[in-house]
């Protein structure tokens, strides 16, 4: 049985990606309020324990505008975030041998779950730079579901973006709650990695997405390079539902 005092290992001796890839998976329970099957799991590798979020492909509800296999998009979102150096998505991989079959496995973020985008933004500008980074990531990834509650604040003051399965559609359909930076110029430290992305697509992404989805992502990145400003929602309709 899992320990009641289970904590994530920390420090340089623990590699989240190796733990995700090699740890034995034990389901603790189903996460509430998730539209698809989403499970909190314990990972064990020897005497080391950690928590992760497991989303099996078998637990996905069919969608008319996305093909099956949203869990691959979860992993692709991590690969894009990592390739850009933004690191706004927790380490995420695809595991073929999950308890319910193939699915995504994402490092669990110990967060204050009372906090979300709206509550953090209302505090003032302290988190604005992190949210600018997330807004640019969502623009390139074409995130159609950046709810306020998908922004988690960890104990170190770092903001993470979770639930990234509805990304990378070929058709531009960005839906997000982060619109406060519209028309602002994108800072050079954020723009430089986008230029590099246009030149070289990360190989792991190419294995997780279709060729057309990769092409569409590159077109979005090129558009950012050509016009380095944050977008504006003139329609007022590019919000997810529910907002939180």
Q: Which of 2-6, 118-122, 129-133 has the lowest mean pLDDT?
A: 2-6
- pLDDT score recorded for residue 38: 96
What pLDDT shows up at residue 2? 41
Grade residue 13 by pLDDT with cuts at 50, 70 and 90: confident
More confident residue, 9 or 161: 161
Burial of 12 (0-12, 13-18, 19+ CB in 10 A): exposed
Q: CA nearest 169: which of 198, 194, 138, 196?
A: 138
Instruction: Look at residue 1 and tell me whether its pLDDT is greater than 70.
Output: no
Whether the per-residue pLDDT at 34 is higher than 90: the answer is no
Q: What is the pLDDT of residue 176?
A: 98
pLDDT at 44 exceeding the cut of 90:
yes
CB atoms near residue 2 (< 10 Å):
15
Report yes or no: 166 and 73 within 8 Å, Cβ to Cβ: yes
DSSP string, 183-231: TPBPPHHHHHHHHHHHH---HHHHHHS-HHHHHHHHHHHHHHHHS-B--
Q: Which domains can be identified in the chain, with CATH numbers? A: 16-226 (1.10.510)
For 52-109, how does the pLDDT look when each residue is reduced to its tens digit (9 = 90+)?
A: 999 999 999 999 999 999 999 999 999 999 999 999 999 999 999 999 999 999 999 9
Q: Which residues contact 228 (CB under 8 A, 6 or more apart)?
A: 185, 186, 191
Give the contacts of 169 (CB within 8 A, at least 6 positions apart).
65, 66, 142, 144, 213, 216
pLDDT (tens digit per residue) in 215-242:
999 999 999 999 999 999 999 999 999 9
* pTM reported for the whole predicted model: 0.93
User: Which helix H or strand E contains 128, and what residues bound it?
Assistant: helix 128-141
CB-based contact 229:184 (threshold 8 Å): yes
User: In this predicted model, which residue has the larger pLDDT, 16 or 124?
Assistant: 16
Nearest to 179 by CA among 231, 116, 109, 225: 231
């Amino acid at each position: 049985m899992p320990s009641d005092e289970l904590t994530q290992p920390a420090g340089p001796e623990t590699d989240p990606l190796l733990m995700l890839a090699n740890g034995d998976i034990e389901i603790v329970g189903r996460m509430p309020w998730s539209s698809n099957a989403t499970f909190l799991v314990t990972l064990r590798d020897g005497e080391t324990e950690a928590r992760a979020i497991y989303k099996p492909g078998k637990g996905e509800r069919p969608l008319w505008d996305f093909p099956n296999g949203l869990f691959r998009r979860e992993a692709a979102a991590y690969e894009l975030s990592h390739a850009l150096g933004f690191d706004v998505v927790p380490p995420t991989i695809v595991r073929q041998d999950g308890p319910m079959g193939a699915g995504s496995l994402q490092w669990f973020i110990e967060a204050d779950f009372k906090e979300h985008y709206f509550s953090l933004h209302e505090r003032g500008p302290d988190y604005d730079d992190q949210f600018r980074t997330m807004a640019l990531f969502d623009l390139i990834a074409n995130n159609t579901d950046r709810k306020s509650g998908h922004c988690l604040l960890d104990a170190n003051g770092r903001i993470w973006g979770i639930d990234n399965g509805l990304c990378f559609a070929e058709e531009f359909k960005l839906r997000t709650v982060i619109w406060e930076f519209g028309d602002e110029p994108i800072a050079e430290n954020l723009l430089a990695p986008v230029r590099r992305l246009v030149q070289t697509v990360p190989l792991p992404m190419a294995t997780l997405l279709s060729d057309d989805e990769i092409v569409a992502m590159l077109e979005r990145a090129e558009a950012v390079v050509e016009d380095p400003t944050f977008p504006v929602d003139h329609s007022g309709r590019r919000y997810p539902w529910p907002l939180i």
